[in-house]
Structure 1
Amino acid sequence: MSDMVKAFYRDILLQVLSIESRKRQVSERLLLTKSDRLRLRIIREFLSLDLDKHTLLQQAAVVGFRNQAFDILDHLRKLYGVEEYDLLPDRIREEIRHTERLLLPIVNEIKYPKSSSFFERRLIQEVNKYVTLQAREYVKVRL
């Protein structure tokens, strides 16, 4: 593996670490916020950071595959919990799509309050619960 590829991956990991640190700060704010309107904005920020993280790791996977950097690919496989190299890109894309699906109703509710259907409001409640659970885990971890 070339030094440039290693340096690129280290840079990606530093950016991911920074994002994880920001997610921890956002988590603290989320858990202390009572206002539903403000919570939606914080949830959007949390999910956007998560999306940024997966996008960066997707870039790392692409570089890893192009350069046959199996150290990087092994690390990413462990991170995403996949056994085979071929499954890694699909798993990362799945995480990106999942996060985008969670983010969409939040963004729509922020932009167009009062226009959500019953189903969308129920979905927003579930996203709120999901992100709140993640936030509780984030504040437990020291980065």
Structure 2
Amino acid sequence: MARTIKRLPMLPAERALKVISGRWKAVILYHLFDGPCRLSALKARMPGITQKVLIDQLREMEEHGLVSREIFAEIPARVEYSATPLGLSLEPILLALCQWGQHHADELDERAQLADCIIRPRQVAEAPAN
């Protein structure tokens, strides 16, 4: 794994927030939980993000080990982004944030204004019985 350029905080909670903070990082990861995705497909799923910001956020998450980039030897070159095992480990955290966001909206009578937030917890494959 590449060494991170920016020094991260030493307090674990602050470190976690630093790595996933940003307007788009959680949304990008949300879309990558379903599997590898090309840049154009990610951009299409997030019409409010500019391509520059999307690329910058992907690079930061790649630097922090949350996302991997695979370049295929094709003409024209094809690039796919996917969540790494470390990135996938954030899935239950994003699920909890989604649920809390829904609870918050309920408390403020704003639930009808929310977009769907569907995160399916990943099923861990069971080891075969001997």
Same fold (TM over 0.5): no
TM-score (norm 1): 0.32
Which protein is richer in strand relative to its size? 2
TM-score (norm 2): 0.34
Of structures 1 and 2, the one scoring higher in RCO (CA 8 A, sep 6+) is 1
